[in-house]
Structure 1
Amino acid sequence: MSNIQNLHHVVRGKVWLPGEADFDTTRLPWNRAVEQPVDAVVEAADAADVADLVRYARANGLTLTTQPNGHGATGRTDGTVLLRTRRLDALDIDAGNRRARIGAGVSSGRLQQAAAAYGLTGLPGSSPVVSVTGVALGGGLSWFGRKHGWVADSVRAFDIVDAEGSRRHITADTEPDLFWALRGGGGDFAVVTALELELHPAPHVYGGRMMWAGAHASAVLSAYQQIVDKAPDELTLWFNLVHFPGADPMVTVDLTHLGPEAEARDLIAELDRLPQPIADTRRVMTVAELGGITGEPTDPSAGLSRAELLTTLDETLLAEPIAPLLSVQVRHLGGAFAQPSDSPHGPLTEPYALYLFGLAQDPAGVLVKQAALAETLPVSGRKPFTFLNPAETVADAFTPEVVERLRQIKSQVDPGQLFRSNFPV
């Protein structure tokens, strides 16, 4: 019996091998545009199962790639065993201390639902179905990042299985180098089975989306810039150009405000002076409802993305139609993002993040359009790690000094290269 075939006897969770029923679907990542070849798929039953698998892999020369579901998949998985951690789904809220212990399989939407009951919030992004752990390992850009920084900045501890198969609880005090690397440097150093996250007060939240015909894009962008130029850290706005195939172009503004409705409406008054929108979903909401603002798909799909960080924003963005792209999104950063951060990324001094997304039906056209648009805009030359695409590497997100430090930590904690993340250091 080969090392791979013996996996059925190593773990209590599920194992799929090539040729077995459902293997070809189980190995697929969330982004169906990414081809993900693997030698086997293991869905661990719990953290003890993960430790058993790691010890077996170490003894038998196997390489592990860890994913809850594969939102950040890059296809760099050839010759690996794919470890699924979605069954590690324990979630415990300590409201008095504003802490949550979150299993590696817990989604952002589930954390938000639990935290909302206490008037608290995690740091959710646009999608409710991504895993909190996966987001934190990539740094994490949140609706509330202008107030509270990177998602990773709120991590207080990790539960891991190291390259020797030992289960450990690590903090900034116990293992500062590894803790630093995991807070935004990716999953190349250990299997994270759970993390402890600081929660934040959210007694009042106002948010939603306003949508106009694309003909109003210039006026909407002007209003957007007026608002963000004076926005407090509690207010976040995202500007979007949207063009669905077969439909007319549209422009939207998505927003959240950590505060009362009246305060929010005063801050965004310029939006109400614009032409009548096609749709307006702004309202008082709970933090459990934030995942519905942008209407992102909650089922796997195929897409091609590219991200940049912008030093300024002007109407150059509107010079040409965005087709064949589906959307062009500008996220206002600043606030706590620009403050010191003991993480691989450090502070985000660029005021905007740009996210370009297209469907996979015309990959060549989408990639050409993304590159052409990026070339016309004032990009800083680095990208958020959490937004890297399969063609990019850690060098696109981090300084050479940070990459070298990450590599040194990797060589110390995983000298045998047992773990291979989506973006190996």
Structure 2
Amino acid sequence: MNALHTLRSVVRGRVLLPEDTGFDAAHRPWNLAVEQPVAAVVEAADADDVAALVRYSRSAGLGIATQPNGHGATGRTNGAILLRTGRMDTLQIDPDGCRARIGAGVPTGAVQAAAAPYGLTGLPGSSPVVSVTGVALGGGLSWFGRTYGWVADSVTAFDIVDAEARQRHVTADTDPDLFWALRGGGGDYAIVTNLEVSLHPARRLFGGRMLWDALHAPYVMEAYRQITTTAPDELTVWMDLLHFPGSDPMVAVDATYLGDACEARDLLSPLEDLPRPLSDSRRTMSVAELGSITAEPTDPGPGMSRCELLTDLDDATVKTLLAEPIAPLLSAQIRHLGGAFTRPSDSPHGPLSEPYALYLFGVPSDPATADAVTAKQRALADSLPVSGRKPLTFLNPTETLADAFTPATLARLRSVKRRRDPHNLLRSNFPVGG
């Protein structure tokens, strides 16, 4: 441990060791149900700091696990130095070129706020606090993915520090293999310090949530199927079965439409025939307000998730989903995919042929509840038409990259890893080796 004290003379950013005040909070992942043992925490000031840390770690024989704020953490960090990139928060918008240069620690909400005044958008997911870099390295499912594809598809360049501490600018032309691996293959191949992405037109946006008592779930489901069967690519609709502690079960429909309100309401008209909702937040909104739709927590907390890609949402699937309450789960969310997700993508995952994603989430408040959540997730997954593959950004700590990629893709990613980081200095949440 004494050798780690020299870290403070190596980097300009803050260094925290296990005996330091604040270490526990600094090394904690976003998901508080995950234990994340590390040897030290380094909050890098810039890319030079990252390069200095890589040189130090190579000489000390210590791995580096990189996280902006710990989303997607799996606890596979034992003995490594945890590199926090949250201070690397450069954000530059080029409205004329429809591009953004984004530091490794910048959250999606900040990009949305900066791009909105120009009538532009990035590709944000449901939470505004997740880093753009983390999402892109995992492929990334966005509210606007049906129109523009994977988040990674919009990345045009990476600034990286490699396993030999070299700072490089990586594009499809300068290093096609590494560029391909970073666009959705995880963070096992280099440390990303900045990325450049294409921004997309979003001059009009309609969105929000409708909420009903769960008694109406069969009718909401039927309307949801009707809407998603014919939805244009500009329309994204999710359905949520919800059961929060201390409240009655509910069902919600969340939607965004890249167009005007009249068109959106017409496309969503089957919802108007349903019983009066408990609430309806749908309105014309800014792309900077997308996080308000699902209002996900913006502070860390414990959770257990499981995602499956559904090959169908037929009558049998609906019957299974609605057969009994979702408890002890808090939510069972169905996301409509299709659209641009089905088109060719030069990324590790490639196109998504499955029309829907199912995301099952619960809180392990105690060991018995944790076991019950896992059992419920497994029972649902085993009884539904699932493809067996799932998006990398939705993997849980018990899963590996083999759950996301085909054997051929995994073999190619492992080849990139062997050539770029033969000593396994860089430790991602989901190591490509297994």
Q: Which interval holds the TM-score relative to the shorter structure? A: over 0.9
In structure 1, what is the equivalent of residue 279 of structure 2? 279
State the one-letter code of the partner of 1:340.
P
Cα distance in 2 for partners of 1:213, 1:297 equals: 22
Q: By how many angstroms is 1:304 displaced?
A: 0.4
- Matches of 2:60 and 2:52 in 1, distance apart? 12
- The equivalent of 1:73 in structure 2 is 73
2:299 counterpart letter in structure 1: D
Give the alignment partner of residue 352 of structure 2, picking from 341, 345, 348.
348
- Corresponding residue of 1:378: 385
Q: TM-score, normalised on structure 2?
A: 0.97
Moved over 2 A (4+): none
CA distance in 1, matches of 2:323, 2:198: 42
1:333 aligns with 2:340: no
Aligned pairs, number = 425
The one-character-per-residue Cα deviations of 1:7-27 (angstroms, maximum 9, x if unpaired) are 111100000001111111211
Post-superposition shift, 1:160? 0.2
**What is the rounded CA distance, in whole Å, between the counterparts of 1:217 and 1:376 in structure 2?**
19
The aligned counterpart of 2:104 is 104
* Residues 1:179 and 2:183 aligned together: no
Structure 1 match to 2:401: 394
Report how far residue 320 of structure 1 moved: 1.5
Match of 2:28 in 1: 28
Q: For residues 196 and 251 of structure 2, what CA distance do their matches in structure 1 show?
A: 38
Question: What residue in structure 1 maps to residue 205 of structure 2?
Answer: 205
For the residues of structure 1 that align with 2:218 and 2:22, how far apart are their CA atoms?
Answer: 49
Give the superposed CA RMSD: 0.7
Deviates more, 1:165-174 or 1:55-64: 55-64
- Tell me how far 1:3 sits from its aligned partner: 3.0
Q: Give the TM-score normalised by the residue count of structure 1.
A: 0.99
| 1:3 aligned counterpart, secondary structure | helix
What is the aligned partner in structure 2 of residue 403 from structure 1?
Answer: 410
**Structure 2 residue runs without a partner (length 5+):** none
- Structure 2 counterpart of 1:419: 426
Distance in 2 (CA, whole Å) between partners of 1:291 and 1:51 is 34
Unaligned runs of 5+ in 1: none
Question: 1:257-303, CA deviations, whole angstroms, 9 ceiling, x for partnerless residues?
Answer: 00011111110100111100000000000100001100100011110
| Counterpart-to-counterpart distance in 2, 1:326 and 1:370 | 11
**Offset at 1:6?**
1.1
Q: CA deviation at 1:166?
A: 0.8
Distance between the aligned counterparts of 1:238 and 1:280, measured in 2? 15
2-structure distance, mates of 1:376, 1:356: 14
User: Which deviations, in whole Å up to 9, do the C-alpha atoms of 1:94-134 show, x marking residues without a partner?
Assistant: 00010000000000000000000100000000000000000
CA deviations on 1:151-185 (whole Å, 9 max, x unpaired) are 00000000000001011000001100000000000
Partner in structure 2 of residue 360 of structure 1: 364
Please give the per-residue CA displacement for 1:179-213, whole angstroms capped at 9, x wherever unaligned: 00000000000100010000000000000000000
Name the CA distance, whole Å, in 2 between partners of 1:179 and 1:319.
45
Partner residue of 1:88? 88
1:271, 1:129 → 2: CA distance?
Answer: 30
Amino acid at match of 1:134: G
User: Could you report, residue by residue, the CA deviation over 1:325-382 in whole angstroms, capped at 9, with x for unpaired residues?
Assistant: 0000000000000100000000000000110000121211100010001111100111
Q: CA deviation at 1:2?
A: 3.6
User: Alignment partner of 1:72: what SS?
Assistant: coil
